[in-house]
Amino acid sequence: MYNKTNTSGRGASSSDRGGYSDRPRRPSTGGSSFGRSSAPRGASSRSTGSETRSFRKPSMVADLYDRPAPRSFGGSSAGSRTFTSRGMSFSGRSHRGPKRFAGEHIDVSRFINRATTIVEEVYTPVHTFGDFKLDEKLKDRIAARGFSIPSPIQDQAIPNAIDGRDIIGLANTGTGKTAAFLIPTINKIIKDKKHKAIIITPTRELALQIQKECIELTRGLGIFNVTCVGGAPIRFQMENLAKTHHIIIGTPGRLKDLLDRKRMNMSNIGTVVLDEADRMLDMGFIDDVRYFLKHIEGDRQMLLFSATMAPAIEKLVHEFLENPVKISVKSRDTSKNVDQDIIRVPDKTKKLDILAGLLKDPAFGKVLIFVETKRSVDQLHDELRSRGFKSDSIHGDKRHRERQFALKGFSEGKTQVLIATDVAARGLDISGVTHVINYEVPQTYDTYVHRIGRTGRGDNKGIALTFV
């Protein structure tokens, strides 16, 4: 992704500080083969009819959509849908693109798309969690988490992982892939406490999300994890790694740093998980991942999860995975589930006023705002706070505690608005985001797709608005 300003060198190996342990908190679509492997049995799919989902536009936006089209500030061509209000305009067709950016030229008309009714194939799970060959104590923990029917990726990945197969899981965020790799990994450790696992993930926020789920699934099982991410002095994670642990969760740069400091015991590592491999590629971590994998001794099972299979990922697969099972349960494009529109701002001095007007609408419940730079994050946050909005912010220069506090408050609904850069928000899976606002135009269309994918999760629909 493009926002290089919030990274500290490739992989942030020396500046990505900190480590966390769960110890203080204890007590308390069908499968297919890759290469010579055989497909998982029992996978089936069926086609359903059209499903119409109701979706209420916020009152302000709905009014703009539904009223007869007046002329926009810049005029409009025949056939375009243009709506204006309070110095802003929503346009169904773009006449002039945004100002020049360093990235690719973007036609803003690509930011305009109505959420559509989807006719899609629905994968029908063939297992329950009770069907899997899992330790009974782990089954109890799964039940305590409220899991009964596995998601498609879980239904196919878990039995293959239990059987010791290497796995390529093509799945988007929000499909249940965290449990898909945690459950079989934990089951192996229950059977053999000498067995160790390493989970490599692109961002510290995602690492901590995985740690949280890991703690819940291992509660009372005598299994300890250590998370090696930025935000705390490295000596803490060194101390935790010197204690008994079974699962290491970390970012590539931090793990490489610890390896170079000879603080990681690479023996008995029987499971390696690469989560969101495509993101690691985008962020420049792939060489760090390869470096780390080459230091793992002996046989190991590898579970790789990615939304896409770029050539560099395929190369990694051929280099480190042995006869893997390929499972694809990618959902539809997020844009299909997100109502998209643009907001024209002829007078840039009114831009903040327009944003504030939108946020006052009660329908704007949980709003994620993207800007280009860390400086823009701080400026916009200060402006919104001064206007009385409950907002917070995350970017690469924020302390780890600050980032986690901001994410927690936003997730729990204590703050209405979270302002972020693209890198800081990578991999986040925050439920209930009603709106994504691109306050500054992204430099690439791929970045745009990743941004708006923060809303419209699962069966929910969302709204994405882009200021131009």
Measured distance CA(148)–CA(394) in Å, rounded? 35
Give the pLDDT confidence score for residue 97 in this predicted structure: 37
Environment class of residue 133 by beta-carbon count within 10 Å: exposed (0-12), middle (13-18) or buried (19+)?
exposed
How is residue 200 written in tokens? Answer: 């490599």
- Largest pairwise CA distance in the chain: 71
**Which tokens hold the place of 146?**
């409220």
Q: How far is 12 from 121, CA to CA, in rounded Å?
A: 41
- Would you state the pLDDT for residue 115? 67
| Angstrom distance (rounded) from CA 299 to CA 215 | 26
CB distance 140 to 162 below 8 Å: no
Query: Which H or E run includes 354?
Result: helix 351-359
Q: Identify the sign of the CA torsion 221, 222, 227, 233.
A: positive
Question: What domains, with CATH codes, occur in the chain?
Answer: 4-46+121-328 (3.40.50.300), 59-114+333-467 (3.40.50.300)
CA nearest neighbour of 298 among 419, 381, 377, 194: 194
User: Which residues are CB-contacts of 418 (< 8 A; sequence separation ≥ 6)?
Assistant: 367, 368, 369, 391, 392, 393, 394, 406, 407, 410, 430
Nearest residue to 424 via CA among 446, 395, 449: 395
pLDDT at 70: 32
* DSSP, residue by residue, 220-289: TTT--EEEE-SSS-HHHHHHHHHS--SEEEE-HHHHHHHHHTT----TTEEEEEE-SHHHHHHTT-HHHH
pLDDT score recorded for residue 232: 62
Contacts (Cβ under 8 Å, ≥6 apart) of 342:
90, 91, 94, 108, 111, 112, 465, 466, 467, 468
Write out pLDDT tens, residues 327-361: 998 654 445 678 899 999 989 899 999 999 999 99
Pairing state between β 45-47 and 121-123: antiparallel
In degrees and rounded to multiples of 5, residue 71 shows phi and psi of -75, 140
Which ranges of the chain have pLDDT less than 70? Answer: 1-106, 115-123, 230-232, 330-336, 423-427, 458-459
pLDDT score recorded for residue 167: 97
pLDDT of residue 106: 67
Residue type, 428: L
**pLDDT at residue number 400:** 76
pTM of the model: 0.60
CA separation for the pair 250, 235 (Å, rounded): 15
Torsion over CA: 93, 95, 98, 100 (sign): positive
168 has which bridge partners?
304, 326
Q: Is 87 helix (H, G, I), strand (E, B) or coil?
A: coil
Q: Which residue from 55, 37, 16, 348 is spatially nearest to 205, judged by alpha carbons?
A: 16
Nearest partner of 307 among 175, 416, 444, judged by Cα: 175
Nearest to 90 by CA among 394, 468, 347, 420: 468
